[in-house]
Amino acid sequence: MTTQLSDETLLDMHRRMVRIRIFEEHAGKLMEDGKIPGALHLYVGQEAIAAGVMVHLSDEDWITSTHRGHGHLIAKGGEFDPMFAEIYGRATGYCKGKGGSMHISNMQIGMLGANGIVGAGPPIAVGAAFSNKFRKTDRVAVTFFGDGASNEGSFHEAANMAALFRLPLVFVCENNGYGEYTPQANHQAIVDVADRAVGYGMPGVIVDGMDVVAVYEAAGAAIERAREGAGPTLLECKTYRFYDHVGVRGMGLNYRSDEELARWQKRDPITLFEGHLAEHSILSEEAAQAIHAEITEQVKAGIEFAESSPFPEPDALLEDVYA
């Protein structure tokens, strides 16, 4: 980690990460307690990536997300109240309760949705990046996807088209080592997804996805390149999913070892970053705790908002099918 960043940016990224973590921890518990319907795919462990990328973006820059999308939306500026309301299926949610966790979105802040289909985001991000260029803006698009999605044809078609058209797009691969429950070694013959970039004529960059400053720097370079019209970059962030594919304990499947999890938890991106911030006297341990407490209160208020919000009226069933 380097310290050339302003304190303001560092603290901004810290806050985004903590907002994700506390939101997700509460959401996971609520799901496992049966309070939230359906399935949640939690972002815990991967927070440095969303924060380190999103701090470069404005509301006019577009992102596409994944089934593990809460973190991306929070880092992009999503608010707790309508987010909790959405995953509770309430009318006050970002999507009026009709999308839920897997389709949560807020287009006003440039978020083109979580997505229930693995690998569906990159082609849509190609369209958003194309649109930025077509409309002669200097906006960029960023598409998040996992190591598993990098095996989908949609990723490959999108990568080729984006490079061919020199689109202002950044492909951010969050390589957490598992495609659902299948370890990377069992789903692809390569170790570094970034190797795939060369096949499409774009740079491939590998970064430590647990180090928010490293992500910030690599993402900044890729986004700047995109804004300048030099085309896309494939940025691979090595990370780890602290919770299961679904929920916290998920289905109790024995697909990874406790030792492996413990090894990665030692590199918890928030703990690492808070150590760094304390070491450089940017944020004391007490001040960090105060931020956690403040955000916990906001999360609790969000849950209360959701639980006291109405479910959609029956008429909503057939609304928004067509414009």
**151 or 296: whose CB is closer to another protein?**
151
Nearer to another protein, 15 or 103 (CB): 103
Q: How far is the CB of 226 from another protein (least distance, A)?
A: 15
Pick the closer one to another protein by CB: 109 or 237: 109
What's the min distance (Å) between Cβ of 150 and another protein? Answer: 15
How many residues contact another protein, by CB under 8 A? 47
Q: Kindly identify the residues of this chain, within the stretch 65-124, that bind another protein according to CB under 8 A.
A: 93-99, 103, 105-108, 112-113, 115-117, 120, 122-124
Site residues for another protein, 113-132, by CB under 8 A, read 113, 115-117, 120, 122-132
Residue 115 or 150 with smaller CB distance to another protein: 115
**CB-nearer residue toward another protein: 260 or 313:** 313
Per-position x/- string for 27-66, each x denoting binding to another protein as judged by CB under 8 A, each - no binding? -----------------------------------x-x--
| Binding track, positions 130-169, relative to another protein; x by CB under 8 A | xxx-xx-----x-----------xx--xx-xx--xx----
Judged by CB, which is closer to another protein: 134, or 259?
A: 134
**Residue 79 in contact with residue 58, Cβ under 8 Å?**
no
Residues that bind another protein (CB under 8 A): 62, 64, 93-99, 103, 105-108, 112-113, 115-117, 120, 122-132, 134-135, 141, 153-154, 157-158, 160-161, 164-165, 319-323
